[in-house]
Amino acid sequence: MMDYLKPYSEAYYYRFNIRMSATRDVTLDAWPGAIIRNNLLYAAEQIRIQKTNRSLREQIDTFSLNDDHPLYKELKDGFPKGYVLTDFSHATMIDPTVFIRKGDIFSFSLLLIGRFNEYRYYFFEAIREMCERGIGKPLTLFRLLDITENPVSPVSLSDFMPQETEEKPSEITIRFQTPVILYRLKEKKNTQLSYQDKCNRFPGLYQLTRSALSRLQKLYVLYVEPGACSSSLFEETQMETYLENAGRPLLKSANIQYINLPNTQKKEKKNEMPLAGYIGGQIYSGNFQQYLPLLKFMAEPGVGNDTVYGMGRFEADVK
């Protein structure tokens, strides 16, 4: 079953760590991922990419699949972006509002997926532009101290794939570090949740594994092997065969809660859309070694909704 992942084994991402210091006391009054993301995108509009003459923002929003690609219809109205923001200092799930004193260092990480790493220097320029323009309340300038590449970059799916996998009963602990929501319910007149709705909202091991695989497939064809459209990569029967054992491990314990994090307010809208999902941990027992490379690799890029904000991040530990 590990063979199913081999076509994706070259999926990879780079991680860069950013540190900057505040020039005066400042408050980030929403989830830092939302504030950094919005300010970074504004700055990205000012950065031009030489070979395309697009702005970095336009490059981020460019959809690259042809209309005959198997995933075209699914992704044409919204697709995963080639970058992820994560690891924001100061913030906690209990109180995500951040107060930064003058001279304090605020840090976060930038993940660039696959070939999107080609635009790293443009992202660095956008980060510098963001610092010089200012963020937070009151609007505050930041000094960009450094941007360093993580020493283990790039991180590849192949790094987690052993030569042989021995299936034996064991325990896996899944810890949701930032809110994980795998399925966002659409607004509907009937507000009563169906059984399927409830199952989709609970981030069980099967749902988590399926979401991780779906996101891996999309990132792969968008940023690692652009346009790859082999039918074997998206054949539903093969995918279901690969996933069938993910529903067999038994849930031994769960200590999770559904939380909302404050988002930034959208222009011309009175209320912001909260960033929501589950945090906490779960323990499963059973045979799941075949899924560990997938879960380990996707832990940092995240799963589910709002991953670009740093949502959907988790850990998978086995004993």
CATH no., domain 12-149: 3.30.70.1890
Neighbour tally for 186: CB within 10 Å: 6
Neighbours of 137 (CB within 10 A): 11
Domain locations in the chain as residue ranges: 2-6+168-318, 12-149
- Top-level class of domain 2-6+168-318: alpha beta
- pLDDT at site 186: 54
Per-residue confidence in pLDDT tens, the chain, 319 aa:
558 888 899 999 999 999 999 999 999 999 999 999 999 999 999 999 988 889 999 999 999 898 888 888 989 899 999 999 999 998 888 888 899 999 999 999 999 999 999 999 999 999 999 999 999 999 999 999 999 999 888 999 999 987 666 677 789 999 999 999 987 655 444 555 554 555 556 789 999 999 999 999 999 999 999 877 776 677 788 888 899 899 899 999 999 999 999 888 766 555 567 789 999 999 999 988 899 999 999 999 999 989 999 999 999 998 8
- Amino acid 188: pLDDT: 47
Identical fold for domains 2-6+168-318 and 12-149, yes or no, is: yes
pLDDT at 228: 75
pLDDT tens string 268-289: 555 567 789 999 999 999 988 8
Token pair belonging to 129: 């532009």
